[in-house]
């Protein structure tokens, strides 16, 4: 089966979870015998990794105006679509998704479409976003053979928002590598116990909520530090100013962006991972921490409330108050953190490894192809 995947970026620093999801899907689809090709607007280290595996990557390049406009070579994209048996489009608010969906419809190629949480932008859209949805987005949704949700919660929201039939929306969650915990065994430079945040320093990820919550409880847990690991998307300066004002400069560590090996080490050695997101389709970093055996404190906006149900951590409101209470609860019961981590590890390994998830996706592709032939 020939599969074309599209995504905004294949740069690990700028593309975040959607870039990583695309890389893993492509690599595991190829391992299952599919011929994969990827179209993206932004080249990067993940694209190079895929090329080294023999997976074809077409990077359009782009320019940022009011909207990011890709420099699509129409002939090149047409060739990619025509080679495909099925298409998987990831990301809503971009013109590459629109162009790919249009060509797939023109050539009779079934496509699965995943907004990966981006439909939240329809709740209070700016005028340009509303125009995009009317002119382009509705058509992309209408002609999709399948809409892919990352969580059951997102599936329910899609069904309600667009009044779709139940069989039009399927859940294909994020995943992790089975052996992720064995990536590195180098000694840690952080000896003190620490709480870990991994993600972009952007408002949607909520690092400001976590830093404020930590500042409120720091005096109660004098041996614990907070490690903020992730690239700056406009918030680092204000966060550092707040930390300085609260005289916590020796308690809060900003590492900047870290690669996979360094992140894996931090996960394994952390007391817990905190995911303070204001909005998230499904927290990939929570899965990564889980497979490493680290418990998680996350908000109820992360699409992964199962963490608390299976005893792998706590779910709290996406507020300073909620996170502050969660930190107090987990740190006060520190002797139980290892047990919580093992519970989460068992659950993640049993439900969210990429081979299992890709098997599910291939099944959906086959159903799309069969329905097209009927």
Q: Helix or strand or coil: residue 358?
A: helix
- Using CA atoms, how far apart are residues 104 and 6, in angstroms rounded to an integer? 12
Domain boundary assignment for the chain: 2-175+353-367, 180-351
281 within 8 A of 304, measured Cβ to Cβ: no
> How close are the terminal C-alpha atoms of the chain, in Å?
18
- Using CA atoms, how far apart are residues 132 and 136, in angstroms rounded to an integer? 6
Is 180-351 the same fold as 2-175+353-367?
yes
| pLDDT tens string 283-306 | 889 999 999 999 999 999 988 999
| pLDDT score for 49 | 93
- Using CA atoms, how far apart are residues 342 and 316, in angstroms rounded to an integer? 21
| pLDDT tens string 2-14 | 999 999 999 988 8
CATH of domain 2-175+353-367: 3.40.50.2000
4 within 8 A of 37, measured Cβ to Cβ: yes
Angle between helices 354-373 and 12-31 (to 10 degrees): 70
CA torsion, points 69, 200, 278, 305, in degrees to nearest 10? 110
Of the candidates 330, 372, 361, 308, the one whose C-alpha atom is nearest the C-alpha of residue 221 is 330
- Using CA atoms, how far apart are residues 341 and 154, in angstroms rounded to an integer? 26
Q: Is residue 159 pLDDT above 60, yes or no?
A: yes
- The whole-model pTM stands at 0.83
For residues 101-127, give the mean pLDDT. 92
Phi and psi angles of residue 299, each rounded to the nearest 5 degrees, phi first? -85, 165
Determine the topology of domain 180-351 in CATH: Rossmann fold (3.40.50)
């Amino acid at each position: 089966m020939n599969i074309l995947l599209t995504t905004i970026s294949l740069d690990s620093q700028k593309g975040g979870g959607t870039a990583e999801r695309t890389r893993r899907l492509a690599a595991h689809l190829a391992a299952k015998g599919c011929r994969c090709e990827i179209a993206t607007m932004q080249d990067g280290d993940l694209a190079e990794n895929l090329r080294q595996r023999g997976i074809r990557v077409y990077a359009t390049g782009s320019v940022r105006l009011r909207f990011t406009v890709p420099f699509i070579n129409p002939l090149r994209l047409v060739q990619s679509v025509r080679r495909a048996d099925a298409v998987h489009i990831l990301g809503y608010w971009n013109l590459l998704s629109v162009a790919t969906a249009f060509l797939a419809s023109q050539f009779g190629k079934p496509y699965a479409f995943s907004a990966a949480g981006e439909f939240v932008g329809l709740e209070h859209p700016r005028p340009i976003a509303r125009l995009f949805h009317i002119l382009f987005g509705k058509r992309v949704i209408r002609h999709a053979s399948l809409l892919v949700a990352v969580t059951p919660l997102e599936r329910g929201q899609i069904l309600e928002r667009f009044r779709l039939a139940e069989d039009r929306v399927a859940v294909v969650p994020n995943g992790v590598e089975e052996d992720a915990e064995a990536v590195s065994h180098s000694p840690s430079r952080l000896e003190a116990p620490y709480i870990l945040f991994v993600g972009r320093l952007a408002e949607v990820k909520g690092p400001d909520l976590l830093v404020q919550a930590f500042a409120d409880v720091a005096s109660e847990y004098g041996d614990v530090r907070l490690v903020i690991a992730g690239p700056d998307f406009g918030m680092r300066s204000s966060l550092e100013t707040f930390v300085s004002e609260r005289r916590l400069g020796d308690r809060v560590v900003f590492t900047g962006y870290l690669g996979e090996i360094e992140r894996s080490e931090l996960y394994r050695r952390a007391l817990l991972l905190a995911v303070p997101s204001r909005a998230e389709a499904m927290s990939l970093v929570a899965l990564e921490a889980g497979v490493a055996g680290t418990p998680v404190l996350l908000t109820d906006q992360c699409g992964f409330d199962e963490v608390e149900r299976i005893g792998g951590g706590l779910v709290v409101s996406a507020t300073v108050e909620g996170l502050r209470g969660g930190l107090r609860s987990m740190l006060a019961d520190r002797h139980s953190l290892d047990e919580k981590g093992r519970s989460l590890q068992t659950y993640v390994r049993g439900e969210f490894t990429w081979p299992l998830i890709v098997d599910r996706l291939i099944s959906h592709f086959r159903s799309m192809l069969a329905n097209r032939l009927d």
